[in-house]
Amino acid sequence: MRQPVFYLPGGTRYVADFLIFWCDGTADTRDVKGMETEGFKIKWREVQAAYPWMTFLKVKRYGKVWKVEP
């Protein structure tokens, strides 16, 4: 799914880039980042605390290589 919305306490929301459902029944979200803003860092911590059963991953580019980070 593209751009799933996660509702956070306080009436804010976090929109990830992708929600991926795997064949083994698990799901994770991926957020492709160029630069992490202060607002993103706050929402990133909030969404992980509000949805502890989900896996949230950041995808960053280092030169020509893409790396997945927790």
Q: Which residue has the tokens 């160029």?
A: 34
Burial class (CB within 10 angstroms; exposed 0-12, middle 13-18, buried 19+) of 69: exposed
Cβ-Cβ contacts under 8 Å for 20 (sequence gap 6 or more)? 27, 28, 29, 30
Q: Please give the pLDDT value at position 70.
A: 84
Domain residue ranges of the chain, discontinuous segments joined by +: 5-69
pLDDT, tens digit, for every residue of 9-65? 989 999 999 999 999 988 999 999 888 899 999 999 999 999 999 999 999 988 899
Q: Strands 18-21 and 5-7: what pairing?
A: unpaired
Distance CA 15, CA 13 (A): 7
